[in-house]
Amino acid sequence: MFYGRGDGRRSGQGRGIGSNRNSNSGFGPGGSCICPNCGREVAHQRGVPCYELKCPACGSPMTRKGLNNIGSTGTDDINNIPVIDGEECIGCEKCLEVCPFNAIRMNAGTAEIIADKCRNCHRCMSVCPVEAIK
């Protein structure tokens, strides 16, 4: 016999994120991935980040449905996207190459993040050799 609130799989209340395996909310093991460019939706593949999938219609990187930014919980985190310090940036373009959302461009030899394309995956931060991205 199981006592307590449970984890959503047995007799508990099931109020946690991901408690419904067939949920289409975009959280937990269920949900779907969506293309930010054309809006095409595909079922989420457990264990595979959505941004590693390419849209079957247009080839763009997918993003998790219901999330504005990777790592976000559905709130608008546009103010929490990485920021590039223009004085520290050496223009190596490593961040440009690693960004799965094409959210970085070069402007006068300095990298610049395009806020409405950034999904906060932080890949750019991990490859910057001078830590100019914070």
Mean pLDDT of 50-74: 69
Q: Within 10 A of 76 (CB to CB), how many other CB atoms are there?
A: 9
Domain positions in the chain are: 1-66, 78-127
Q: How confident is the model at residue 79 (pLDDT cuts 50, 70, 90)?
A: low
- Give the C-alpha distances (Å, rounded to integers) separating 107 from 81, 91, 101: 18, 9, 18
Q: Is 65 helix (H, G, I), strand (E, B) or coil?
A: coil
Mean pLDDT of 9-31: 47
State the chain's mean pLDDT as an integer. 74
Mean pLDDT of 84-98: 94
Higher pLDDT, 107 or 25: 107
Q: What is the pLDDT of residue 24?
A: 41
CATH of domain 78-127: 3.30.70.20
Please tell me the pTM assigned to this model: 0.48
**Is the predicted pLDDT of residue 27 greater than 90, yes or no?**
no
Task: For Cα atoms 45, 105, 125, give the angle at the middle one, nearest 5 degrees.
Answer: 60
**Is the predicted pLDDT of residue 91 greater than 90, yes or no?**
yes
